[in-house]
Each structure stands twice: as structure tokens, then as C-alpha cells.
Structure 1
Amino acid sequence: MRRTTTGPRDLPPLGVQQAFRLPETADVVLPEGLRVVCLRSPSAPMIELVLRIPFLCATENDGATAEVLATTLLRGALGRGEEDVDTELARAGCSLGAVRRSDRIEISGSGPSAALETLVGVLADVLTGASHAGTEVDRARRRLAERLPLLRARPSTLAAEALRVHCRGDSPALRLIPAEAAVASVTADGVRALHRAAVVPAGAQLVLVGDLDPERTVALLAARLREWRSRRPVGTVVPRAPEHWQRPVRLVDRPGSVQSLIRLVSPAPARTDPRFAALSLANVVFGGSFSSRLLSNVRERGGYAYWAGSRFDDILEAMVIAVNADTATDTTVSAVAEIRAELRSMATKPVTDDELRVAGNYLLGASALAMSSQVGLATAVSTTIGFGLPPQWLESFSDEVRSVTGRQVRELAEEMFASATFTGVVLGDARLLAGPLGEHLDMVLA
């Protein structure tokens, strides 16, 4: 009988990270303004599809109407009912779904490569002729009204909306939860009108990834979507970026809450900035991974938070470094104090070569893993072009990460993670938190 060595054994060394390279790609803007990006990835006989249609609310009613629009978009088109659409997709092994995001309406789906024409055909039908029947709109409106109390009871949603309004001003485009009156006012005619005005190809981006021929797929899309035309887009109001971020942190009262949500942000360079790769590595060291300084301190050593981390986020057109923590009410003050201490330490405790090596391996490995599947690659490309970057940025970014020096990371860490530049919100019980937090933060009560 053979035996293996008992006890702990050394982990095998990491393999060399392979540089990411895009597969065969077609990138075309069709006459009506729709950008189509098709990538050949034949790892499985499947197709993944992501369509982003930019949309920002111009009025209070737009948000509620857009929610109902997304819900009813696939409920019937061109005289076909919901069952006809569902049956055609199901028989072909395909699926399609639509959701409203804060800055867009998004349609995603998948299906076998052999069913590409069916998938594209149904998509074209709902884009050009979704019926938004009165019975479907009424049902969707009632369900949305029933969900509102649940949405308003969700701390993460309340904190996210409060942060957006705090940083960019009170605008319909920033509201994540529609008002009850706006939901009650939704009508089938209003949904159809918004569809005509906002669901247009100008500025929209369609990504397909899978076992496909990119050029032939573009030709198929151009033929099937030729009736999808751009009309005058719905008016939008985009708040200006704040001139000064050194404003007080806002304490948002949630009476009786046993936990607090800490959401702090600071302006960051755009992804097109040549320093972005170095800043990404600095963020991984600070709070962007499970072995980061912030998580190791606030959660592992101190036990002050259930979760703590940092990431890049976008509040309309402003990119920020976002520092988030979820904590119990009685440890909120300690968590805030330690977060601020870790921000200061990014300047006083320079990033080491070992931290830089680990951060680079993590960032490149996580990116490679995320794009290893067809759906992951479709999501990555859709997100990238949604930020106004070419698909090739996914290649150049990984190359830039490999070339970043420790000095670049240390300089950016000192500049971008300065505690004084962060503002944000703390959602929690103001009766218990206002006094103690005021000793650590320049703070106002909402």
C-alpha cells in the first residue's frame, strides 16, 4: 500500500499568466447607429448576447415607466402573445430577458449556435413591435407597486441611492426606486410612447460571443434589424460632476437599525487614463481582494465588519473609488476609524514589492477567469464598450498591468487614497451614531 505525505505541504507554484488576446472580431456601426461587436469563441456550440440601450430618466415618471417597459418587452410582439414568443424561444433552446438598469435598458440572452436566426429574429420583433398590451402593463405595474415596500426596506438599495444623490445632486436620473405615485401613473400608452422614444438603435451596443462567423453574423443582424429605426431620443438631464468632493459625510437615519452600511467614495481617473492600471493594482492592495489590507484589518483582525472592500464604481459620468463596509451598529464607529486609518496608511506604509506581485497575480487571474467563458467574455466586452473603450482595451490593459512599477503604484496610492478626499454616506440609527461618529467625521445628518 502506498501512502502520501501527511501534514501541510507546499502549494505548487503559480503558472505563468498568459496574455489575453481577443478572438476573431467584427466591430461595425450599422446605419441607424447600432454598434455591433461579434466575437468568435467556439468553446461551446452556443451564442451569448448582450444589448445595452442607454437610458436616463428625465422625469420622475420615467423610472417607473421604464421598469414596466422592461418587464413587458418580451410579453408579445407583432400580433404574437407572450406564449408565442416563449414557445418559439423554448423550441429553439433559447432564452431572452430584459431589465432596467440605472443608466440603460439591457437585454441579454443565449441559445445554440444553430438557433442564431431564431434568437435574432425574436429580438428584432420585440425591439420594433413589442405590444406592451394593457393587461400585461397592468399586471407589471401592480407587481412593481407590491415590490416597492420590499425595495425601500433593503438597506443596500437605500444606501446606494442616498450616495448617488449626495454626490451628484437630486435628479430623476439618480433614483433607483420609483415613487409610489409614479408607479400608479404608468399606462400602456405611456409605456408604448417611451418605447418609441427611448428604445432606439442610436447609441445602443449589441455584443454577441460564441460559435459564430463574425462577418456573417453582422450581415444577419443588419438584415433583421433594418426596421429598427432611431427617432428623437427622450430628453435626459445629466447632473454635473461636483466641483468639490471635500463635503461632509452624510448620516442617513434608519431608526432601530441593528446594522450600518458605510459607503465612502473619492474621484478617480477615467479608465482611459494611462495611470489606471497602476491605480487598479493599488486598489487590490488596499481593499480589492480577500487578502487586502482593509479586509484583513476591519474584518479578520478587528471583527468590526461583516464585509469591507473597495472597488471602482460609476455614478453617472463620474468614476470613483468606492470603499464599502457592512457592520453592526455597536461597531460602526470602530469600523469607520479603521477605514480612515487604512486610507492614511496607503501613504505612510508604502506598497511592498510582495504586495505588488500578489496584486498583479490576483488582478490578471481574476480577469482571465471572468473572460474564460462565453458569457463572461460577452459581459466583459459589453461593459468595456459601454465605458467608451474599444474591445482591444481588454488586451492592452492586461499588458499595462504587467508593466506597472512599484514606484507608480506607491505614488498613486499616496495621491488617490488620501482620506480627506473621501465623502459618502453612513446608513444607520442616527440616535446611536450621530454623536460618536461626529468625533471621527466631518458629518451632517440627513
Structure 2
Amino acid sequence: MAGLNRATPPPDAPMRPSELPLPDATTLSNGVRLMTLPDRRAPVVEFRLILPCAGRAYDAPDWVGLSGAAARLLIAGTPTRTSFEIADEADRYGGYISVSANTETAILSARCLASYTEPMTRLIADVLLNPTFPADEVEIDRANTLQRLRLQRSQPAFLAEERFRTALFGEHPYRRLAPDENALQRWQTEHLQTFHATRYRPQGATLLIVGDFEPEAILKLLNDALGAWQGTVAQDPLPAPSMQNAEVGWLLVERPNSVQSHLMLGALCPPRTAPDSLALQLAVSILGAGASSRLFLTVREQYGYAYSVGAHLDYYLRIGAFVAEAQTATENTHDAVRQIRAEIERLIQEPASQEELDATRNYLIGRHM
């Protein structure tokens, strides 16, 4: 075609006006905050239950990792269902059910075809209210977790993040990344039952449901299925984290004979609720989100110092953390660190162009479309 320049990409199309729907919020009879968003474009329903005080930070100091085991084993059995029956039942409903724990929260996730919303809701209620933590399942999970932990400790990325969290948080429980091996070898069914009884409570929990359902019917169903789930979590025992890094400077983790370095640079920052959090997210995205970011274009494309590089924000309920990260050949370590720091300093000192701001803003908006 005459006049077509294949070396220049076509201009970006203008962003179309968009308005994301907002969920309806109410409270169940047991105190759970319910947020619903009917969406009938597909005959499916998604559930997310967030328990705010059931993550690693809430483990007792000599039981670090118990929260993760309690989450994984919540679907290991109830008085009326085995782990296989739970998985098979969820599969027959055209979906799944899983539970995981992170730094602060435990999250139960489930999905089903819309026609099976009621039985899936009752399955969720059974595993949530009546987990038995069978001894044989505890032993299987222990062996799997121990094997996974030992594999992780051979990986540069895991070792770097473990050290990085200590540099950020010091002795604060937010530093915890993995189970303590000594605790892992000790916990039994009764320890998991105690954690569940004290941490898996409805007060303060949030349940999000999106999909093909009738709001009034789902509200009635939830109050019936979860009505027996009662109680509150003990007062939050976590101290407020410091706003200053516990350590600064070069911190090295020795890994003999490694052919690559995993780099992490960062600092603590205000939480997501801070007034300027969106501006900070935009700035960090300009720096290191995607293949058009400054770090990607310079550290990787221009200089070839790293084959993986980027920057992001990690958010906790009380604080945030800025992280720039790269993987590089050992001989390029100092050059990669120098260039990453140079790009961070350039972002601080030099205003971004309007074109760069618009492109990054459109990228962030597009991720939610």
C-alpha cells in the first residue's frame, strides 16, 4: 500500500469513556460485609471471602506458617466430606474452591456455574464452618510444604525477597515470607483447629460475589447458609510498622557458584489509602510497568544489563513498599544497579512528558477494562 510506513507503529486510538460498575454493599446477619455485583454476560458466579486477620503476620512467633497450613487444609475435609469429595463436588458445579493465606489475610476463592449457586454456597459454608483438619491430610501437607520450602531456599528470587523483607520491616511480622521449618515439623490437627477458631471469624470479613445471580435471592441464601458462623476476632495484636526501612545500603545474600544475581531495590511508602497513592502508582508504572517502561527500555533494551527488570508497589493494610527488581548475569550486577538507580533519580528530578503520562495512564486504565 502506497505511503504505508511499516517502521512506525500506528498512533494509539483515543481512550473511550468508561465507567466501572460499583458493587452494592450490605451486611449479613452475622456481621460479614457483603459486596455484590450482578453480571449476566456469562452464566457463572465468582466468590471471594477475605478474612483480614488470618495471614502470616498473625501467627504466633513460634508458629510461623501455621496460617498457611490452616488455609490450605480448610478444604481437606469436614465431618461429611473428604478432601476428594470436596474437590469432586466443586468440579461437578463447573468450578473450584481454594483457600490461601498471604501476609495479612486469608482468602477463600470459589467459582461455579450459575445454576449451581446454591449448592456451591452450602459447600463453602461447610468447609468454612466445619473443617476437621484430618491427621493424614496434615502429614501430606507437611511433607509437601517441607519439600517446597527446601526448593524455594535454592532459588535466588526467594532468597532475595526474604532478605529484602527483613531490610524493610526488621522484626515486624510483615517480614515473614515462608514457614518456620521448626514450627512446620511440630503443628498438629489441634493447633490448626485453634487457629481456625480464633482467626476465621465473620466480624470484619468481606465477601465479594460477582456474576449471574439475583441479589435478593443470594442475600437470603447467604444468611441461611452462613447464619451459624458467628464470633469476632481478638483485638488486632500487630504493632504499627515503622515508616522507615529497618536497614539501608548494599545487603548481600551469598549463593556460591550462582551465575546470576537477583536484585531488589526499594523503600517503604504510604499505604493505598494515602491521598497521593494514585499519583505514586502512575509514577512507578512509568518507571517499571511493562515493555514500554523506562527500566525495560534502558536497563534491558538499551544496555542489555538484565533480561528481566521492572518496578511495582506492594501494598499492606497499614503501609506500602516500592520495589524495583531485576535478574542479571553476575558480571552485570553493578552496572544494572547503577542504571536502575539512575532511572529512579531521573524520575524524581525530571517531570515526565505529557505523552508518557497519557500512555501510562491509558495502560493502567486498560488493565481494568
Shift of 1:58: 3.4
The 3-state SS of whatever aligns with 1:149 is helix
Letter matched to residue 16 of structure 1: M
**Which amino acid in 2 is paired with 1:51?**
L
> What does 1:32-431 align with in structure 2 at a 5 Å threshold?
32-54=30-52, 55=54, 56-233=57-234, 236-238=237-239, 240-243=241-244, 247-314=248-315, 317-368=318-369
Question: 2-side partners of 1:77 and 1:113: how far apart?
Answer: 24
Q: CA deviation at 1:112?
A: 0.6
Mapped to 1, the partners of 2:33 and 2:69 lie a distance apart of: 26
Decide whether aligned partners of structure 1 residues 367 and 302 sit closer, same or farther in structure 2, where only a CA change above 3 A counts: same
Q: Structure 1's 148 and 21: CA in aligned 2 closer, same or farther, altered over 3 A? A: closer
* Deviation at residue 244 of structure 1 after TM alignment: 5.9
Seen in structure 2, the aligned counterparts of structure 1 residues 78 and 231 have a Cα distance that, compared at 3 Å, is: farther
Q: 2:244·2:268 contact (CA, 8 Å) conserved in 1? A: no
The whole-number CA distance in structure 2 between the counterparts of 1:204 and 1:107 is 11
In 2: Cα distance, 1:59 partner to 1:20 partner: 44
Give the whole-Å Cα distance in 2 for the aligned partners of 1:6 and 1:350: 34
After alignment, is 146-155 or 172-181 more displaced? Answer: 172-181
Q: Is the 8 A contact 1:60 1:178 kept in 2?
A: no
AA at the equivalent of 1:275:
D
- Asked whether the 8 Å contact 1:30–1:36 carries over to 2, the reply is yes
| Residues 318 and 80 of structure 1, relative CA distance in 2, 3 Å threshold | same
Q: Deviations over 1:197-241 (max 9, x none)?
A: 111112221111111122331222122101111254386434521
1:434 paired residue number: none
Q: Percent identity?
A: 29
Question: Judging changes above 3 Å, is the alpha-carbon distance between structure 1 residues 4 and 225 closer, same or farther for their aligned structure 2 residues?
Answer: farther
Whether the 8 Å contact between 2:32 and 2:202 is mirrored in structure 1 is yes
Listed one character per residue, the Cα deviations across residues 337-374 of structure 1 (whole Å, up to 9, x for unaligned) are 11111122124432112212212221211222xxxxxx
SS of match in other structure, 1:99? strand
In the TM superposition, what whole-angstrom CA distance separates every residue of 1:61-105 from its partner, at most 9, and x where no partner exists? 433322322222112213322233233323322310112222222
The one-letter amino acid paired with 2:37 is L
Kept in 2: contact 1:48–1:210 (CA 8 A): yes
| Deviations, residues 372-420 of structure 1 (Å, cap 9, x unaligned) | xxxxxxxxxxxxxxxxxxxxxxxxxxxxxxxxxxxxxxxxxxxxxxxxx
Aligned partners of 2:272 and 2:319 also within 8 Å: no
**TM-score normalised to structure 2 length:** 0.90
Q: Whole-Å Cα distance in 2 between the matches of residues 93 and 164 of structure 1?
A: 39
RMSD: 2.4
Q: Which has the higher contact order (CA 8 A, sep 6+)?
A: 1
CA distance in 2 between counterparts of 1:116 and 1:39 reads 14
1:21 deviates by 2.4
Q: 1:60 to 1:267 in 2, by over 3 A?
A: closer
Deviation at 1:299, TM superposition (A): 0.5
Q: Is the 8 A contact 2:167 2:245 kept in 1?
A: no
TM-score by length of 1: 0.76
Q: Which amino acid aligns with 2:230?
A: R
**Partners in 1 of 2:281 and 2:173 — Cα distance?**
31
The residue aligned with 1:393 is: none
Going from structure 1 to structure 2, the CA distance change for 1:357 and 1:243 (only over 3 Å counts) comes to closer
CA distance in 2, matches of 1:10, 1:305: 26
Question: Per-residue displacement from partner, 1:7-37 (whole Å, max 9, x unpaired)?
Answer: 72762651433222215x3212224332111
- Partners of 1:58 and 1:235 within 8 A in 2: no
Shift of 1:123: 0.6
In 2, the alpha carbon distance for the partners of 1:11 and 1:39 equals 37
Amino acid at match of 2:40: P
Kindly provide the amino acid, as one letter, of the partner of residue 35 in structure 1. R
1:89 and 1:350 map into 2 onto residues whose CA distance is 52
Q: Distance in 2 between matches of 1:230 and 1:347?
A: 48
What is the rounded CA distance, in whole Å, between the counterparts of 2:95 and 2:254 in structure 1?
46
Structure 1 residues 32 and 160, CA, compared in 2 at 3 Å: closer, same or farther?
farther
Stretches of structure 2 that go unaligned for 5 or more consecutive residues are none
Aligned pair partner of 1:26 in 24, 27, 34 = 24
Matches of 1:4 and 1:136 in 2, distance apart?
68
Aligned length, in residue pairs:
365
Amino acid at match of 1:22: P
Give the CA deviation at 1:316: 6.1
Bigger shift: 199-208 or 65-74?
65-74
Q: Which shows bigger deviation, 172-181 or 161-170? A: 172-181
